[in-house]
Amino acid sequence: MNGRNLKELSAADSLRRLADVPLGRVVFTRHALPAVRPVNHVVIDGQIVIRSSAGTILSAEVAAVEAVVAFEADELDVEERLGWSVVVTGFAELVQDPGEVARLRSMITPWVTGQLDQVIRIRPQIITGYELVPG
């Protein structure tokens, strides 16, 4: 199989693709160490919205101060070696307004059981995306 080339995607195309998949990976720093968790997400008003529980390390990081995080999603076909990946870097914050929390919570059904009563919103600052195309 020929190698693939990486074709850069526009920010708008990247965010559109990210919005089209139900699952991504939130990347953050914990005690100066890199950390990553798969999570299901939605994109609302250009922001990435995820649910979390107060007990998780992600919520602990974000609750203290607005945190810089990355969010990655991809659709990669391991047979064809084609697909795309998108990485968003931005500011994550716990949504505080109770009405806004209720509105956003209703728009995401987490896969896992549990309270997941917190809502985290990521405001994109940098959006990069690549598509694997035949070389």
Site string for a second copy, 92-121 (x = CB under 8 A): ------------------xxxxx-------
**The tokens of 134 are what?**
């035949």
Q: Give which of 61, 57, 53, 58 is closest to 26, Cα–Cα.
A: 58
In this chain, which of 10, 20, 22, 115 binds a second copy, going by CB under 8 A?
Answer: 22
Amino acid at 18: L
Alpha carbons within 13 angstroms on the beta-carbon side of residue 51 total: 21
- Cβ pair 121, 74 in contact under 8 A: no
Q: Is 4 in the site for a second copy (CB under 8 A)?
A: yes
Nearer to a second copy, 100 or 114 (CB): 114
**What is the total residue count of the chain?**
135
Q: Which positions touch a second copy (CB under 8 A)?
A: 2-6, 21-23, 25, 27-29, 32-38, 68-70, 72, 74, 76, 78, 81, 85, 87, 89, 110-114, 132, 135
